[in-house]
Chain A
Amino acid sequence: MPLLRSGIVRAETLVDIRGVVPRGIDGASIGAGTTLAELECAPQIPDVLREACRLAASPQLRNMGSLGGNLLQSTRCWYWRLKWPCRLHGGDECFAHEGEHREHAIFENGFCASAHPSDVAAALVALDATLHTNRRELPVSDLYHLPRADDRRTTTLEPGELLLSVELPPAERSVYLKAMERKLWAFPLVGVAAARTGGVTRVALAGVAPVPFLLQGSLEDATPLPRNAYKVDVARALVKRALAALEEST
């Protein structure tokens, strides 16, 4: 709604979708209308998702914000939010590259250095969760689209397509760690989600790339900008700790 009011997003009609989007937890399936507050105190969901919800936003926003809405949230890049004619807005420059980028991406940042702010998305990517829309079924990571010159969208959601639910595979162990600029109520500088599912460990990061970032190579492959190399240090420490936490349980 703030995006609407500030004119970043325009709409002719607002549709209240609360009636059609499921809400609540049913076994391994979570309705996309379930609030983060409901998830943060749900004992049956994996730690990584519960902790990601618990550390996201503010208490009131967790009361109001749904899982689906959180997955679809826009970047906090100040250039984009202040309507600078950047590449995400269809322009031909990423102002963060030469500008103020201490909160920006350290991976996949060549075209657009915005950082994806969703803790919850990183958790679901680490869990390799499956998303159900009114049209298809897809891995959560496929919801996201790295913006590039010929297609600047950050998600693959089509007009008229609605997120309905998320299906979680059984995770043996999982953890979410988050670095913020204050102790609570801040978007992640770096969020690290790690989950072991079926013996396979997956690590996904929030706040480090224009989309939730599944760590497949090494953190040393990061391409930080001049003023955000510290994020690599922070990520290195948090990934190490997250992996250690997965080990501890066994």
Chain B
Amino acid sequence: MARLIRTEKEVEGRYEEVWLVVEEDVLEQWPAGAREIVGRPATRIDGLERARGEAVYTADLKLPGMLHTAVLRSPYAHARVARIDLAPALTMPGVHAAIGPGELDVLVEECGFHGAAIAAVCADTYAQARAALSRVEVDFEQLEVLIDPDEAVARGQLLGEPRVRERGDLDRGLAEADVVVMGEYTTQVVLHNSMETHQAVVQWLGDSLEVFISTQYIWGVRDEIASTLGLPGDKVRVVCNYMGGGFGSKNGADDYTFIAIELAKRTRRPVRCALTRREENLATGNRNATIQRLTIGARADGTLTALGGEYVNATGWGGWSSPVEGPMQMLYACENVKTTTWAAKINQPPMKAFRAPGFVEGTFGLESLLDVLAAKLDIDPLDLRRRNHAQHDGADGRPYSGKNLLECYRRAEPHWERRHEVRARSTGTVKRGVGMASQIWYGGGGPPSYAWVRVGSDGRAAVVTAMQDLGTGTRTAMAQIAAEELGIPLDHVTVSLGDSARGPFASISAGSSTTPSMGPAVRAAAADARRQIEEIAAQRGTPDAPLAEIVGLLEDAQILGKGGRGPNPTGMQVLTFGVQVAEVAVDIETGEVWVDRIAAVHDVGRVINPLGASSQIEGGIIQGIGHTLSEHRLHDPRTGQILTTSLDAYKLPTFADVPVIVSELIDEPDAQLTNLGSKGLGEPPIIPTAAAISNAIRDATGAEVHQLPISREEMLRALREAAAREKVGAPAGV
């Protein structure tokens, strides 16, 4: 039964207090451990379609009469369109329509970043659209460029007010400290670069709109379009059956979708607007750069007395201020904590969520400085972390719904123990070491989310819900949950998703929320179907008959179950935890860094599919290695124009950059959380990787890196600094 509650809703660290209609969650959790199907490795139910290239992505869609779009984007970081003439483009072969500033909100006259959309042309082919676009006459008035985030803060050019979060008294905490360490850490701009670029194919059917789009949030896109256009929600159908990655960059409709919608309206034809890889590197969001000025105070026994952080998010021309201070606020027990976070509005492309936004960056700074403290106190880094373990949420005293971080530490011990043997393998020029870092993050999901389950006389079940599978294996996990609840084989379950017209509301696939939001709804729907089948069995006088026998009586009748996601536990913090241990080698002459091995132990509640979960962990760690060592979106320091716009210049990890990865999950259901006890795993694995690597580098060489990526330049700088420090005998990290 639905009921109305007042609750906190969290997405990627942003909370809001809302009224929510939720379903009651009446099912008991399954006991811990592997079930028949849930908790056992399952290969992807859509694996063959994807592997064979038969899965149809938005990029593969071709509607009859479909036109192609090219978008004119600002070549300058800050400029005003003084004059624009689209007429020459309209005379070009194949062209059907052109639109510019003033005709659509997403086409702007004042361009605040390189890549801002100004105009668009659609034509029979993309080549024609592009050729026509080059005929658009446009004069720019260049404006003053502001790209230094510190300067933006000094000038007060901010997105929103600075975020101050304080508990206790930082100064008192520092006064109580026996040791104080300080450090400045910076992180770079990192791009999602999903393999399928952002794109949409749009067609109007009368006054209804069909939007085929590569998205992480079908319902969000539907509602954004409906409200922008003033259409009833159900006049907008959003479809995403397969998508080629998102990582946080595909949560909204964005400029390209609205461009396609407008051009489709004007031409009465289906219109595709697909971004090129070059545009993808400019205008589809990023993990913004940060500057972190951190202070840690501790007693001689390692007890943290003070944590202070001044954080600057180089947010860009738009976007929001990511919770880069989150790890400092949440990871350890400490009475005196004060963080201030500024969001600098600069002439750079706007940020978007990117796999644990803020926490990846903030963990690098905090956990790197914590190892400096450990060295200064001569305390084992793992012991130091244990000593400051938080028993409850530090900010408001709330208990955790479930926390097994100490167990993660315990299971990490054998990996941590390897450091003596690893160090011993150092040579004259190649130094080896081991480092670790902890992880904290959200991942509890929340209501609402719904699913339907249909069981037919053939004993097979279909799960129907308008969610999306961005490549994480959600389809498979949902099928496992339904099969488990119904007691039928996994291959008897299909999952129909990806279409707002063909299923109920489903959660965004972001914030590690898909499994914890959708899983309980699917289980509830399957349980509803099972209950109905059991009632039929009881009426027939064969209450223990197998499902197949009962539904075999149905002929064309069907059992229809529905289920909703229940509320999160009231007054509790629902979080995920973990630890990673990295082994690295550093060539101290060339500054080359190898990551040889990473062991990951995470606590995300019940694991639905151990096979898919290990893939998520590996993927997160590999993205983390790219973030740590090679990925860097560069801009010209004078003009703010973006310089790395292709995949040869922007260096994603390749096969050769991958270490041995050992992963382990605690797999203990969170007893307080839903009928499953499962949390999300998409984001946790990327969070501690950079810090574990930087701490391993420190262990290997004594050098303290302060910048991501750890380029050869940064590595050699840190080595020189360490050598100079050793010469004068100065203490580290002050």
Contact = CB atoms under 8 A, between A and B. Distances in A.
Direct touching of A and B (C-beta under 8 Å): yes
Interface of A: 76, 78-79, 82, 95, 98-100, 102, 179, 181-187, 189, 227-228, 230, 233-234, 236-238
Interface stretch (B32-40, B312-320, B337-345, B632-640): B632-640
Contact of A100 (B587, B592, B636, B713): B636
Contact of A184 (B645, B648, B654, B712): B654
B638 A99 contact: yes
Contact of A102 (B587, B653, B711, B716): B711
Given A79-B643, A179-B712, A230-B712, A187 B648 contact: yes
B157 interface: no
Given A100-B634, A100-B637, 12 more contacts: A76-B648, A78-B643, A79-B643, A99-B637, A99-B638, A102-B711, A179-B592, A182-B630, A184-B654, A184-B655, A228-B713, A230-B717
A228 B716 CA distance: 11
A102 B651 CA distance: 14
B657 A182 contact: yes
B133 interface: no
A116 B10 CA distance: 50
B634 A233 contact: no
A230 B713 contact: yes
A18 B657 CA distance: 35
Interface residues of B, number: 31
Contact of A186 (B634, B651, B711, B712): B651
Central interface residue in B636, B651, B655, by most chain A CB within 10 Å: B636
B660 interface: no
Given A78-B634, A95-B636, A182 B643 contact: no
B654 A182 contact: yes
Contacts of A238: 590
A238 B716 CA distance: 14
User: Which 3 A-B pairs have CB atoms at the shortest separation, nearest pair first?
Assistant: A183-B656, A237-B589, A184-B656
B638 A230 contact: no
B629 interface: yes
B591 interface: yes
Contacts of B587: 237
A82 B645 contact: yes
Contacts of A183: 594, 654, 656-657
B649 interface: yes
B644 interface: yes
Contacts of A76: 648-649
B712 A182 contact: no
Interface in B333-375: none
Contacts of A98: 637-638
B654 A233 contact: no
A43 B7 CA distance: 70
A238 B587 CA distance: 11
Contacts of A181: 630, 651, 711-712
A79 B589 CA distance: 30
A233 B591 CA distance: 9
A237 B719 CA distance: 15
15 contacts: A76-B648, A78-B643, A82-B643, A98-B637, A100-B637, A181-B712, A182-B629, A182-B656, A182-B657, A184-B654, A230-B711, A230-B712, A230-B713, A233-B589, A237-B587
A28 to B, nearest CB: 32
B427 to A, nearest CB: 13
B274 to A, nearest CB: 16
A182 B647 CA distance: 12
Contacts of B636: 79, 95, 99-100
B98 to A, nearest CB: 20
A78 B655 CA distance: 25
A233 B716 contact: yes
A234 B637 CA distance: 25
A76 B643 CA distance: 11
Contacts of A233: 589-591, 716
A93 to B, nearest CB: 11
A234 B590 contact: yes
Contact of A185 (B644, B654, B713): B654
A182 B658 CA distance: 10
B643 A100 contact: yes
Nearest to A189: B712
B638 A227 contact: no
A221 to B, nearest CB: 20
B712 to A, nearest CB: 5
Given A182-B654, A233-B591, A237-B590, A102 B713 contact: yes
A238 to B, nearest CB: 7
Nearest to B655: A184
A124 B448 CA distance: 65
A118 to B, nearest CB: 14
Contacts of A227: 713
Contacts of B590: 179, 233-234, 237-238
A237 B591 CA distance: 10
Nearest to A103: B649
Contact of B591 (A82, A99, A100, A230): A230
Nearest to A238: B590
Nearest to B709: A181
B101 to A, nearest CB: 24
Interface string B641-682: 101110011010111110000000000000000000000000
Nearest to A7: B134
Interface in B215-252: none
Contacts of A187: 648
Interface string B589-630: 111101000000000000000000000000000000000011
Nearest to B625: A182
Interface string B689-720: 00000000000000000000001110011000
A40 to B, nearest CB: 15
Contact of A234 (B594, B630, B712, B717): B712
A185 B629 CA distance: 15
A177 B235 CA distance: 61
A181 to B, nearest CB: 5
Contacts of B589: 233, 236-237
Contacts of A79: 636, 643
Contacts of B653: 182
B264 to A, nearest CB: 27
Central interface residue in A98, A233, A236, by most chain B CB within 10 Å: A233
A20 B654 CA distance: 36
Contacts of A99: 636-638
B289 to A, nearest CB: 14
A100 to B, nearest CB: 5
B1 to A, nearest CB: 55
Contacts of B643: 78-79, 82, 100
A99 B713 CA distance: 16
A78 B649 contact: yes
Interface in B41-60: none
A228 B713 CA distance: 8
A237 B653 CA distance: 25
Contacts of B649: 76, 78
A187 to B, nearest CB: 7
Contacts of B429: 237
Nearest to A240: B589
A98 B637 CA distance: 8
A238 B589 CA distance: 9
